[in-house]
Structures are given as structure tokens and as C-alpha cells.
Structure 1
Amino acid sequence: MFVFLSSMATAQEEETRKPVEIRKSSEASIAKGDITFDDLQFEITKDASFEKGMLSKDVKRLDGLKVKLRGYILPSTLFKETDIEQFVLVRDNQECCFGPGAALFDCVIIEMLPGRTTDFVTRPVTVTGKFKIETEKYKYPGGKGPGGASHFAIFKIAGESVK
């Protein structure tokens, strides 16, 4: 089971942050399987209940593709530092992108293929594997989470490698 984090940012920090520029992958990059967390974005407010109809066609087309996604291993979801079989990959290393208050599209559950593992590192990693949209597996118990959220994740990669 995963540990959920609350947002550490103060209201003042939230107000002074500049909007992040969205950088979606080019068609050529997507054709090669190179995606970014920006490619996973869809219209949903933080802590909202998720419905399948919220997913854009651009996100849906990634389902089943072999992809490469760069991000950070979220350390609070780990129970060991080596031979890790499952972890959460997040957009940045500020540990802000998982659990209550986080955008649903800012985390991807990584389940390594049988016999494959990775070790924890603090630097960014690139995960390669089959991308899957899982709309039922990662729901909060009873479908009711903090702030009204229904899911803690909806994206998964069956990890072939982590580099």
C-alpha cells in the first residue's frame, strides 16, 4: 500500500509561483514512445472525482503503447532501497505529485515486469515499458478519498527497465 502525502506548499508560495510551460511531445516523439508528464494531462481539478470521460483522445491513444517516461522515484512509497518491484514515478522531486492535493496526471504507478527490479536513486530516471490506463485498480477504498478524490492514480507502466 502507498503512503499519501499532503501538500507542503503554503498559500503564499502557491500565489508567487509562475505557471509552468506545458511541453507536450511532438508526433514524432510519441511515435517513438517518448512521452512526458505533460502528455498525460487532461481536464480535472485537484481532488475531484475521476470519470473516464475526462480523458482526452490524446491521452487515450497512449494506452497500450510501449513508452519511455522520465521522472523521479517517490521515496515515501518505497519499503526498501534495492530490488524494487513497484514504485510511483512523479513529475518532479519535490514530492508534491502524489496523494491528496496532487494532480491525478502527475504520477504513474510503475509495476516492474516479473524478474525485473530497480534501485532507488534521487536523480531523474527514465522508465521504459507498456503504458496502461487503469481506471479501476487505483481507487481509494470505497471510491472516497481526501477532498472528494476517487482515485490516487490512473496510469501504470509495466516496467521493462529503469535507467
Structure 2
Amino acid sequence: MKALVIVHSYHHLNTAKVAEAMAKVLAAKVVSTENAADETLAAYDIIGFGAGIDSGRHYAPLIRFAEKLPVVSGKKAFIFSTSAIVGEEKLQSDHAALRTVLLSKGYEILDEFHCRGFNTNSFLKVLGGMNKGRPNDSDLKAAAIFAEALKKRMA
């Protein structure tokens, strides 16, 4: 199985840490949205798409990247994110925009993952942030377990 993880992570590199934990299990290459254009996505069996959450959706550079993707047929994908607040309803809502774009491009979404990330946006900066130290070892272990499950599904 050949895997690629595309990530937009810049603020505290929360999502990049999660991407690396998943990539280690999947033996995947990790690229930023800025560098992913150079990749031949057709060469990969599964592609992960991840970014932090901003105002209830993945950061805009990842959404814009996905919107420019060519239409594919049944290409496997997974979605991931880090955010200040987590929960199943929050995941469904936060991932909706990216999920819609990827489905419209013909991707089959195998699963989705999210965990807490350190957040110093807006007024939180004055308060010292929210979720300091996240993602932590437990979050990264959960990301690795998620990736292991993906790997088994692809086998």
C-alpha cells in the first residue's frame, strides 16, 4: 500500500504532529498543501487530508487545494484535524466542507480522525491558550491506532 498525507499546519504545528504519527504507521510521505501540487496523487492507494480547524472548518488552504483536485474514481482517502473542541458532532460539522469537496471529486472517505490541539487564536492568546501541550502522547497514540485501522482496511 502506498500512502500520502497532505497537511496544512502552521500555527503550533499541531496537525503536523498528528500527520507524522499517522505517516509512521502507514509508511507514508507527508507533504504540505504548498508542496503537494508536485506529487502525482494517482500513484497513491490512500491519501490523507488534514489541517487545523478555523471557524468550524479546515483551514482554507486545504479546502482550496482539494477544490483544485481532478475528479477520480474510487480513490481512498481519510480526513483528520486538530481543534480546540472535539466530539463526534463537532467532527461531523468541522469536516463537512472538506468531506463534501472530496466526495464531489470521487474520493471514498474511509474514516475521519480529530483530536485536541493547542489554540492561541483570538482572545485565547491573552489567557495563555487552550489545550496547552496538545496533541499529547495519548493523542498521537490514538492517531497511530487510527492509522493502523486504516492500514488493516486497505489490506
TM range (shorter): under 0.3
TM-score (norm 1): 0.24
TM-score, normalised by the number of residues in structure 2: 0.25
**If each structure's helix is expressed as a fraction of its own residues, which one has the higher value?**
2
